[in-house]
Amino acid sequence: MASNAINPSFIDTREAAGSCPACLYRLPRLVECAPSYFNDGHIICKHCGAKTDLWQAALSHAVALSPTGWALASLGAAQTSIVLPMESGKVYEVKLTDHGAPADAKILSTNYTGQTGNLTAIEWHGNSPPRRVVGTVLHLLAVPFGDGPLPHEGRVAITVVWIRGDESPAWPYLVTAFEAAAARDYAPSLVFAQCAIEISMMPLIEDRFRRHASAERVKNFMRGALTYGYALNVVLPYLCAELHVPKMPDVVRGSLNKMRERRNDIIHEGTKAATVTSQDAIEGLCAAAFGFEYMRHIGPSLLSDSVSGLETQ
């Protein structure tokens, strides 16, 4: 069945770390505004000038939309909304790369809602339907509702939550955590979210230690003695203080510790005993997203030979 050309009546792609609580204006992407938050403890709303708690803005937005996939849009994912005129019985090809998504984006969730009451859309697939969309192209079949002569013509609202690619070794683990949360599989989501932080943090600490001890001694210490909890709560704050770089915000570190406890419940007691809720997962993902950006922010200073601190972004 051939795909038909699309002519959307509405298109909107947004990437925002929540909204300013004072004016409700959309904040920038997390990757863009997180450095200012880590340096100053807040960001400045570009619309009203208010000092904004970025952590609270992102978390409250995500919690309000949980457990839908839309909750992930303030934690580093993006949301594309399209209203598409359709005719029942026809297949339509929607290329997200035409609407702001990069070619390496990964789709986390989709939603199709008929707006005119006489048709909607379903994903067109072969004999073995994939449980997750692969790539950035949607193939949609317009399906009629109700009585009356065919074909039906109407509009369908399409909402897609997706996440960009990143070259960091930790990024695939964070993406997998997002995918699991979008599928409402919360226990694996927290496990992979902590993996992302551990993979982001431990190499920075190990590199710093190797400057003052043998590689073999450091390797043995990192593998056999230094736990994730001590690295996060003792070693990392100490190194940041010595290098005059901003420490991780207490609220972020506290939520990462909470996620660590939930992760241990999952690993040692099993998923059912852990009873991980959507709110647990959203707070953990928020902590992981902020933690990942924090490691990205301080990484150059920890890897540098100088002790110069970070400039305010």
For CA atoms 273, 223, 282, 239, the dihedral sign is positive
Are 238 and 276 part of one and the same domain?
yes
Structural domain for 45, as ranges: 15-74
Q: Do 192 and 246 belong to one domain?
A: yes
ω into 151 cis (within 30 of 0): yes
Is the confidence at residue 308, as pLDDT, over 80?
A: no
> 308 in a domain, yes or no?
no
Residue 49 has pLDDT above 60, yes or no: yes
Q: Are 57 and 14 in contact (CB under 8 A)?
A: no
When mean pLDDT is compared across 24-33, 168-177, 300-309, the lowest value belongs to 300-309
The pLDDT tens digits for 166-184 are 989 999 999 999 999 999 9
Tokens at 244, concatenated: 């005059």
CATH number reported for the structural domain that contains residue 231 in this entry:
1.20.120
CA distance 194 to 256: 8
Query: For the chain, what's the residue count?
Result: 313
Q: Which of the residue ranges 2-16, 74-88, 110-124, 192-206 would you say has the lowest mean pLDDT?
A: 2-16
| Residue 232 resides in a domain | yes
What is the pLDDT, as a whole number, of residue 273? 53
Structural domains of the chain, count:
3
pTM: 0.91
Of the residues 163, 182, 211, which one is the last residue of a structural domain? 163
Model confidence at 193, in pLDDT bands (50, 70, 90)?
A: very high
d(CA 302, CA 132) in angstroms, rounded, equals: 38
Are 273 and 201 within one domain?
yes
Co-location of 100 and 184 in the same domain: no
pLDDT band at 242 (very low <50, low <70, confident <90, very high): very high
Whether the Cβ atoms of residue 288 and residue 193 lie closer than 8 Å to each other: yes
